Amino acid sequence: MKENSDSEIRDMLKASKLYCTEVRIAILKVLMKTEKPLSQEQIASHLGTKSFDKVTIYRTLESLLKIGLVHKAFIEKRAWHYELAHNCTESQCHPHFTCTSCGNTHCLTEISLPMAESPHKGFIIQRQQVRLEGLCPACA
Ligand SMILES: [Zn+2]
Ligand SMILES: [Zn+2]
């Protein structure tokens, strides 16, 4: 299984014309494994023993963002949370569900909401991000 995700990540990077550096592969692997948005700090702690410094992680995330392999899901506790871009389009990310009881956030990749329409002339909607709140199955 491990080799599978490795080659998948290498293919993703190659398709995006990015070199397969150790840190890029490591970060994408973390995001692929956790399947939920993580802050830079959480990514760093998942990287564990393979400790890359903060600047390296930040720059790597920026380069992955730029080519669209990763996107910013939402801000929580004043930190952006990053995730794999899945099937998200440039204008719309899947909704995120946050449990008001345990605080866990889930990606609702199976839902796609209609894009909001611009309310007035002069407003151009470029991206829609939806956050839902309620109780997760464990807390309901
Ligand atoms: Zn919960
Ligand atoms: Zn998500």
AA identity, residue 61: L
Predicted local confidence at residue 80, as pLDDT: 93
pLDDT digits (tens, 9 = 90+) for 61-99: 999 999 889 988 888 889 999 998 866 777 778 899 999
Using CB atoms within 10 A of its CB, is residue 12 exposed (0-12), middle (13-18) or buried (19+)?
buried
Look-up: residue for tokens 């930190």? 79
> Could you tell me the distance, in angstroms and rounded to a whole number, from the CA of residue 97 to the centre of ligand 1?
10
> Could you tell me the distance, in angstroms and rounded to a whole number, from the CA of residue 38 to the centre of ligand 2?
10
> Could you tell me the distance, in angstroms and rounded to a whole number, from the CA of residue 110 to the centre of ligand 2?
11
> Could you tell me the distance, in angstroms and rounded to a whole number, from the CA of residue 121 to the centre of ligand 2?
31
Give me the residues near ligand 1 (ion), CB cutoff below 5 Å: 99, 101-102, 136, 139
The pTM of the full predicted model, rounded to 2 decimals, is 0.79
> Could you tell me the distance, in angstroms and rounded to a whole number, from the CA of residue 85 to the centre of ligand 2?
8
Query: Taking residues 119-130, what's their average pLDDT?
Result: 86
Average pLDDT of the chain, as a whole number: 88
Coil, strand or helix at 59: helix
Task: Retrieve residue 50's tokens.
Answer: 């393979």
